Structure 1
């Protein structure tokens, strides 16, 4: 089957979008002082209190999305599973950020944190649905 033009657009734009999350993840994990200097003291304390399982879920969320975008561009049906894993990673990390962390991300960063997390979740779900539709149409092998 011929690759529809929109697959290249969705794959390319999603890779750029997800690269932002990967950059944030890497700068935080590498404890890059120049990058982290933009955080307030309470935000920095929240980041420093992350449990290991949060970091694992965050990694699955970030790298699952990057992998999903790359697999979409490679026309691989495994893009569906990668986006699903990314969504599950986001859900698990959000449970800590908004439900377990004291203070929560909402308390430390305000409504922006919740709105941005919701936007990320919507994008991942849309990418998952798109990949699933492309797999069902036989575009992804």
Structure 2
């Protein structure tokens, strides 16, 4: 019989899912030209000039994070690989932010926090697999 995860596992997985779903909503909103047109010039330019690789990494980060958290909630071991990919996407998104804006920007703070959250979720998935909580 499989050991059951502690309450902290469920809490982190649910908070990670909420965070990732907010990122998915942000990504979807950035595909709406009317929404992007209302952004401050700096962010408008950032979205409009973003290269394909940066847009793809943003999508991998947020949608991978959401799918990975759902897999955690379903206690599936494949969450490790999906959340690993999400972390790569988050790091690539951070790199683009630094390249486009430099280090002195609130956009860097948000992408940096996203990278930290992605790393925590990956850690949780690896630790959970090790503990036998995932199948």
TM-score (norm 1): 0.85
**In the TM superposition, what whole-angstrom CA distance separates every residue of 1:83-107 from its partner, at most 9, and x where no partner exists?**
11011012222222212xxxx2348
TM alignment of 1:1-141, pairs within 5 A: 1-29=3-31, 31=32, 33=34, 35-36=35-36, 38-99=38-99, 104-106=100-102, 110-141=104-135
- Cα distance in structure 1, aligned partners of 2:110 and 2:41: 20
**In the TM superposition, what whole-angstrom CA distance separates every residue of 1:24-58 from its partner, at most 9, and x where no partner exists?**
001112x152x435511232122111111111111
Q: Does the CA-based 8 Å contact 2:61-2:86 persist in structure 1?
A: yes
Structure 2 vs 1, CA of residues 106 and 39 (structure 1 numbering), >3 Å: closer, same or farther? farther
Extract unaligned runs of 5+ from structure 1.
none
TM-score (norm 2): 0.88
Q: Which SS does the other structure have where 2:30 is aligned?
A: helix
- Cα distance in structure 1, aligned partners of 2:69 and 2:109: 23
Aligned structure 1 segments of 4 or more residues deviating by more than 4 angstroms: none
Aligned residues: 133
**CA RMSD between the two structures:** 1.7
Q: Does the CA-based 8 Å contact 1:106-1:113 persist in structure 2?
A: no
